[in-house]
Amino acid sequence: MANEVIVHKVHKLRRVYVWEQPVRIYHWLNALTILVLIGTGFYIADPLALQSSKEAANQFTMGWVRMIHFIASYIFFFNFLFRIYWGFVGNKYANWKQFIPTSPRFFKEMWHVFKMDILMLRGKEHMSVGHNAMAGFIYFFTFLAFLIQCLTGFGLYASMSTNWWFPKLFSWVPAMFGGDFYLREVHHVTMWFFILFTVIHVYLVFYHDYVEGRGEISSMGGGWKFVEEEVFDKGLDTPNEPQRTD
């Protein structure tokens, strides 16, 4: 009986600098501030009954929590503004074209990723360098949620801030949402969107890193990914650019 020979296709990998340092700093700073804002936000909405024999005025627990929340909100806001700016001056993987569908190929790739990642259907592996189309489109809505959270948060803060002019710029927001009560509800619901997004985001990062083996996790530390050469040969590295067929 003849010996069977199994031949595996060898993929040539290219080391690609995908996530620039400003994007990585934005990412981790954003992650940290969101965690701080969620933690302090929960406490502000439903304070703990801290039992202590000390004078309450000397502890001022709520005051410290609110101050941390406000400081984190300023960092979150200006970090968000920086990301908007970097979407125009950064490399092609950070560009806004990777988040907003502008071609039929973008929607086709979104459907393919949806079938593979969500419906868990079998099919040809999707290859991308930066964000795939589905991830980019979800991040676009996440940026809109960032905007809503900034508007509602500073809108709530505007009426209680007396020392600086900046929060007063958002004094028109409560009226647009029908008052502070509804404004606070939108702010709270959006926070739960961030919690859900964080859980799914972390899961998918580990999932793609395990399945694809392209350095998905380490890339947000050093910026580099390892990508098959055929991705570049076929022009598959960005979803909004036309695919090459030569």
Q: What is the DSSP string of 179-235?
A: SHHHHHHHHHHHHHHHHHHHHHHHHHHHHHHHHH-S-TTTHHHH-EEEEEHHHHHTT
What pLDDT sits at residue 246?
46
187-214 pLDDT, tens per residue?
A: 999 999 999 999 999 988 898 888 777 8
141-171 pLDDT, tens per residue?
A: 999 999 999 999 999 999 887 778 898 899 9
Give residues with Cβ within 8 angstroms of 74, minimum separation 6.
Answer: none
30-47 pLDDT, tens per residue?
A: 999 999 999 999 999 888
166-185 pLDDT, tens per residue?
A: 988 999 999 999 999 999 99
- What is the C-alpha R_g of the chain? 23
Structure tokens at 230: 């055929």
Reported pTM: 0.82
Output the CA–CA distances (angstroms, integers) from residue 68 to 40, 78, 84, 125, 153, in the order listed: 7, 16, 24, 44, 14
Of the candidates 29, 135, 24, which has an alpha carbon nearest to the alpha carbon of residue 90? 24
What one-letter code names the amino acid at 21?
Q
- What single DSSP character describes residue 55? -
